[in-house]
Amino acid sequence: MTTTAQDLSTPEAALPRLPAHEVIYRQLRDLVLFGDLAPGEAVTIQGLSERLGAGMTPVREALRRLIAEGALVFQGNRRVSVPLLSADNISELILARQWVDPHLALRATERARLSDLNQLRALDDELDVAIARGDLRAYLELNYRFHKRLYEIAEAPILARMADGLWLRFGPSLRVVCGRMGTQNLPDKHKAMLEAMQARDSEAAARAIREDVIQGMEQVRQSLEQSGALC
Amino acid sequence: MTTTAQDLSTPEAALPRLPAHEVIYRQLRDLVLFGDLAPGEAVTIQGLSERLGAGMTPVREALRRLIAEGALVFQGNRRVSVPLLSADNISELILARQWVDPHLALRATERARLSDLNQLRALDDELDVAIARGDLRAYLELNYRFHKRLYEIAEAPILARMADGLWLRFGPSLRVVCGRMGTQNLPDKHKAMLEAMQARDSEAAARAIREDVIQGMEQVRQSLEQSGALC
DNA sequence: TGCCCCAGAATATGATCAAATTATTTCCTG
DNA sequence: CAGGAAATAATTTGATCATATTCTGGGGCA
């Protein structure tokens, strides 16, 4: 009854009410990208419902979303699971990222403000710390956020969503590979990219990202090829 | 272990019961691509629930899926609508299709069997009939099915879904443009593409599709640019 | 013009029905 | 008599609906 005037006094809590299905979606997304949800592992709606402490309906909606984005697949009749990537799938992903990521990097370089560059640099610094600590989870999350931030700076929402969708597909496999190899042997081209961006050399930035993508994806391909036959 | 022999005897009638949310999804999808759901037009869940004669839950799930695919947007807090494309959006779509469509055409040419070619030719023939008849709805649907079939032949599921997602985004605008111009002035490069495929000249096929894409998309851009300011 | 209240829409829960998978039992064969 | 396969029973899971609750937007009143 008390029409509580919206409490705007807390500037940090700008998210007064987030729908449950949205919350569930983000939790599941993080679970797929960074969490313990391994490729091939099957989950049930009711299982997730209990695990996340929510009703079935929000879980169902979140699942529909993730399935539509390719992060999950309808495993046969009764289960959803993180998809296992075939060699052909990996080739497709490499091909697609090899095009879209450099393009976004190019646009981002043209549009980046100083604050954007600083944010990227800060993320990359945190990333180095995570690598040094051997913190796999933090590495995965920061690496993702680095690229995601780059997509946002490019101001190309449709291409950014395409790139984001691709990430959702290979993220789980990347996690598996990194878990096997440890965080030490994970070189990236972020430094070269940042330098190119600072120099406003879009072509060089695109080239650096392209190398970064190829390097990472080829690692995934090789690791999956030699280890899991059916992966 | 023992592969329980599932009934594979009837490959055609394998869909005795389709979930309601799946049916709703397809209906809504067709409504967006070929139907009367115009860009900018807002719909409500309850409205769709009555219009399609289904409960709210399946409608909600279908909407989540379409929103995730970019076919619909969350208009503010209360409504969903077909998104209006900005000039920048169109540029992104052209850019993306210019890459992905030719690539799929190339792969399709390498893999196409004779039956595939015949199917494509049949679709294109029907398309000509639809144009001659001035049947806009049939034109839109056949044109889509022609390209979609091409995607399938390429046997690259991830790239195909990307291309399909792009179609969902510009389809509504294409419909508006074609509605304005009539079906007579809608040239395509399908004939050239089919010839190239038959000759197994993948590069030529890719080139033809690229021209087809550019031609169509530029028409959309120009039409929206000159007519609707905010489109 | 500004504020408050109300109608309506969206979100979320729980229950119910149907389908499927799993476990158990029984029967047949070697 | 023992082992296994097929059939059936039981539990689990998914799909849908009806309903309660919350929130937004608009209209009426001061």
How many interchain CB pairs under 8 A, A with B? 67
Task: Test B89 with A158 for CB contact under 8 angstroms.
Answer: yes
Residue B16 CA and nucleotide D7 C1' are separated, in Å, by 24
Half-sphere exposure (Cβ direction) of A65: Cα atoms closer than 13 Å: 21
Distance (Å) from the C-alpha of residue B155 to the closest C-alpha of chain A? 10
Per-10-residue mean pLDDT of chain B, 231 residues long, equals 34 60 95 90 90 92 95 85 93 97 97 97 96 92 97 97 96 90 82 96 97 93 71 38
Per residue of chain A (231 residues), what is the pLDDT tens digit?
333 333 333 333 344 578 899 999 999 999 999 988 989 888 999 999 988 888 899 999 999 999 999 999 988 778 899 999 999 999 999 999 999 999 999 999 999 999 999 999 999 999 999 999 989 999 999 999 999 999 999 999 999 999 999 999 999 999 998 888 877 777 889 999 999 999 999 999 999 999 999 999 999 998 887 775 443
Residues of chain A with CATH 1.20.120.530: 87-226
Task: Test A69 with B68 for CB contact under 8 angstroms.
Answer: yes
Instruction: Specify which residue's alpha carbon is closest to the C1' of nucleotide D18.
Output: B55
Name chain A contacts of B66, Cβ cutoff 8 Å. Answer: 68
Task: Give dist(CA A161, CA B43) in Å, integer.
Answer: 24
pLDDT of residue A228: 57
Question: Nearest CB to B158: which of A57, A68, A89?
Answer: A89
Question: Nearest CB to A96: which of B69, B70, B158?
Answer: B158
Q: Which two tokens stand for residue B106?
A: 């190339």
CATH architecture for segment(s) B20-81: Orthogonal Bundle (1.10)
* Bridge partner list, A81: A42, A73
Distance (Å) from the C-alpha of residue B90 to the closest C-alpha of chain A? 10
Superfamily of domain B87-226: GntR ligand-binding domain-like (1.20.120.530)
Task: Test B68 with A70 for CB contact under 8 angstroms.
Answer: no
Residues of chain A with CATH 1.10.10.10: 20-81
Nearest to A210 by CA among A96, A53, A48: A96
pLDDT of residue A13: 38
| Dihedral angle over CA of B115, B117, B121, B127, nearest 10 | 100
Distance (Å) from the C-alpha of residue A61 to the closest C-alpha of chain B? 6
The reply to whether A77 has its C-beta less than 7 Å from any atom of strand C is yes
3-state SS, residue A41: coil
Q: Are A79 and A134 in contact (CB under 8 A)?
A: no
- Taking CA–CA distances from A88, the nearest residue in chain B reads B156
**pLDDT per residue as tens digits for the range A69-102:** 999 998 877 889 999 999 999 999 999 999 999 9
**pLDDT per residue as tens digits for the range A40-77:** 888 999 999 988 888 899 999 999 999 999 999 988 77
Q: Are A47 and A56 in contact (CB under 8 A)?
A: no
Name chain B contacts of A159, Cβ cutoff 8 Å. Answer: 92, 95-96
Write down the residue that tokens 């913190």 correspond to. Answer: A135
A89 CB contacts (<8 Å, ≥6 apart)? A83, A169, B157, B158
Residues 142-201, chain A: which have Cβ under 7 A from strand C? none
Strand C: positions under 7 A of a protein C-beta atom: 4-5, 9-15, 19-21
